[in-house]
Chain A
């Protein structure tokens, strides 16, 4: 059990570290986009990969890392968390035993939703066609900002492919908090990480990264040498439907529509209302999305309504005559004296 605690704590701390790295990277990227276009709304961006290729590259690394995808660092801490969850049958308390696997499912759900979110964030802001002139005129950000982002992106990769170094660095913390630390990782051959035993689970980010790199290069080389390397530019195909306007692209809200419909219908009471004009009318069709936050409706709204009700009732006190005020003050004084007299 102490080993499981050390593993879980290491996973948590490592994730905090990873999060600090890729979140900073993504915020820097968002700042670079804001600086260059003056826009914070994704619906006004698009196509920035052509104008800001380097920012796009590092931002993409941040997106992959935060979506917990191998071979970057977000995946390693997620993987360690899963390994800790798999030790939960050892837990003494039944409540925790049932709760922990459900938390695992929720963690997988949040990782998948994070991936969806960052496909949307990167796809809508950096890919596609510019939706506004500001996005079409964007300039690459300055060298200092780029250097900072490249440093963080490199850290994402290093923590992803050599996680053993970071796990060993966290060992003193877990040692002082739970009494034991995870097994020393730097000594494992091939720089793998082995949380408990090799027969149980192991992961080698470096090898996976090198494998992917080599097999991708082999494929590229083989195809370019042996098959074709010709390339021709042509208008987009899009099933033969010409779309002159960038407004026909998917926007952030249209990208989120399937997910909103699946999860939002219960969690946020999402309702989609389409209004078609009557036949013959030239009025535009309208589409509304109605979202309600249940926490607001059931936790905050009753309090707010209660306060509004009480203040309205107390409002009458504001418009009394001077005699009534004096009477009130006098009554209050008498009441307080009575309380003091009765109080033991």
Chain B
């Protein structure tokens, strides 16, 4: 009985992240538009976009290989699994022990690996420019992300997200300098990983500075829908990770009552809204960087992460 309940909750979590992720993007776009005194598209526009794309035929480049057609499903599956292993409204989900934070980051790395390959498949110059820049950004963002994981894991004594979230929620640690550095670095990495301003512009086409949109240029129809949904899931994943580690309030425990689960759900939606709002404010207030300034941005994130880890070695209280 308990197994069935856990299984149902795990499935609910998988469906929840899938259903909420387009809403988060819609919310960010709406807030950005309102900040620019535009009316903006309706909140549910991303759902309409996905449905429209899914019902269209795929226009496939003549030279595209079988790999090009499989990659959207690989990317979607990898990102979806990674996103559903992050504790959102309830910790201790049935399968949360099957992959820790390092494995979740690595799953996203697999998705990116295949996306970069997709950029090269058709043999166009736009795809190549996107892929080569994506791997450059990844080569900086991954070590930075790992140093953040190290900092958090050394504080919490675990790389298991559920355990880490429970530890953070217990309030044993209080305020620590190294956690502050890790939070700052994590936000910087999240911005870079999700191809947001100032690293990349999610709303642009036909611009030599674009990265993510250049890689997916040859995709259309259901393939494009899956890739868009994956990047929406990825944004949701990063907001959820930041939420469950640095704002772990309201997350229901493993044996929570339905009421606690309802509170957890409400808290989760509130966290997403706050995260999306802050992202929109940040993006509105900052200009996009040149591609070759991104290393300085991510290098700063790496240094912050490394500093956080080293502080923990120097002192148990920092």
At the interface, yes or no: B56 with Cβ under 8 Å from chain A? Answer: yes
Chain A, range 97-149, C-beta contacts under 8 Å to B: 97-98, 101-102, 104-106, 108-109, 111-113, 115-116, 118-120, 122-124, 127-129
Smallest CB separation, A44 vs chain B (Å)? 14
At the interface, yes or no: B247 with Cβ under 8 Å from chain A? Answer: no
Known pairs A127-B123, A236-B122; A215 contacts B110 (CB<8 A): no
The one of A70, A113, A249 in contact with B123, judged by C-beta atoms closer than 8 angstroms, is: A249
Chain B, range 109-167, C-beta contacts under 8 Å to A: 109-110, 112-113, 116-117, 119-129, 131-133, 135-136, 138-143, 145-147, 150, 153-154, 157-160, 163
- Separation of A227 and B226 alpha carbons in the complex (Å): 12
At the interface, yes or no: A254 with Cβ under 8 Å from chain B? Answer: yes
- Separation of A124 and B135 alpha carbons in the complex (Å): 14
Smallest CB separation, A73 vs chain B (Å)? 13
Smallest CB separation, A16 vs chain B (Å)? 20
Q: What 0/1 pattern do residues 69 to 98 of B give for CB contact below 8 A with A?
A: 000011011101100000000000001011
- Separation of A215 and B116 alpha carbons in the complex (Å): 21
Does the CB pair A128–B98 fall under 8 Å?
no
CB-defined contacts of B146 to chain A, threshold 8 Å: 82, 104-105, 108
Does the CB pair A204–B54 fall under 8 Å?
no
Does the CB pair B218–A238 fall under 8 Å?
yes
Does the CB pair B150–A202 fall under 8 Å?
no
Residue of A nearest to B141 (CB): A112
Chain A, range 46-82, C-beta contacts under 8 Å to B: 46-47, 49-50, 53, 56, 60, 64, 67-70, 75, 78-79, 82
CB-defined contacts of B62 to chain A, threshold 8 Å: 233-236
Chain B, range 42-86, C-beta contacts under 8 Å to A: 51, 54-67, 73-74, 76-78, 80-81
Residue of A nearest to B211 (CB): A258
Known pairs A49-B67, A79-B102, A235-B62; A250 contacts B135 (CB<8 A): no
At the interface, yes or no: B40 with Cβ under 8 Å from chain A? Answer: no
Does the CB pair A198–B97 fall under 8 Å?
yes
Main secondary structure of the interface of A (DSSP, over half): helix
Residue of A nearest to B139 (CB): A112
- Separation of A234 and B61 alpha carbons in the complex (Å): 5
At the interface, yes or no: B7 with Cβ under 8 Å from chain A? Answer: no
CB-defined contacts of B263 to chain A, threshold 8 Å: none
CB-defined contacts of A85 to chain B, threshold 8 Å: 150
- Separation of A233 and B160 alpha carbons in the complex (Å): 45
Chain A, range 248-265, C-beta contacts under 8 Å to B: 248-250, 254-259, 261-262
Smallest CB separation, A35 vs chain B (Å)? 21
- Separation of A228 and B206 alpha carbons in the complex (Å): 28
- Separation of A50 and B122 alpha carbons in the complex (Å): 12
Does the CB pair A213–B77 fall under 8 Å?
yes
The one of B51, B106, B128, B141 in contact with A75, judged by C-beta atoms closer than 8 angstroms, is: B106
CB-defined contacts of A49 to chain B, threshold 8 Å: 65-67, 121
CB-defined contacts of A216 to chain B, threshold 8 Å: 73-74, 76-77
CB-defined contacts of A234 to chain B, threshold 8 Å: 59-62
Does the CB pair A250–B132 fall under 8 Å?
yes
At the interface, yes or no: A277 with Cβ under 8 Å from chain B? Answer: no
Known pairs A70-B107, A123-B116, A215-B77; A258 contacts B98 (CB<8 A): no
Does the CB pair B142–A89 fall under 8 Å?
no
CB-defined contacts of B65 to chain A, threshold 8 Å: 49-50, 56, 127
Does the CB pair A70–B73 fall under 8 Å?
no
At the interface, yes or no: A208 with Cβ under 8 Å from chain B? Answer: yes
A-B contact pairs, 12 of them (CB 8 A): A69-B106, A86-B154, A86-B159, A101-B313, A198-B97, A203-B100, A219-B76, A223-B54, A228-B221, A230-B56, A233-B61, A235-B62
**5 shortest A-B CB distances, which residue pairs?**
A250-B128, A128-B123, A123-B120, A216-B77, A230-B57
> With A67-B109, A129-B123, A236-B122 given, can you name 14 additional A-B contacts, CB distance below 8 Å?
A79-B106, A82-B159, A89-B154, A89-B312, A97-B313, A123-B119, A203-B99, A227-B54, A237-B124, A248-B124, A254-B128, A258-B133, A258-B136, A262-B140
| B→A interface (CB under 8 Å) | 14, 51, 54-67, 73-74, 76-78, 80-81, 95, 97-100, 102-103, 106-107, 109-110, 112-113, 116-117, 119-129, 131-133, 135-136, 138-143, 145-147, 150, 153-154, 157-160, 163, 205-206, 217-218, 221-222, 225-226, 291-292, 295, 302, 305-306, 309-310, 312-313
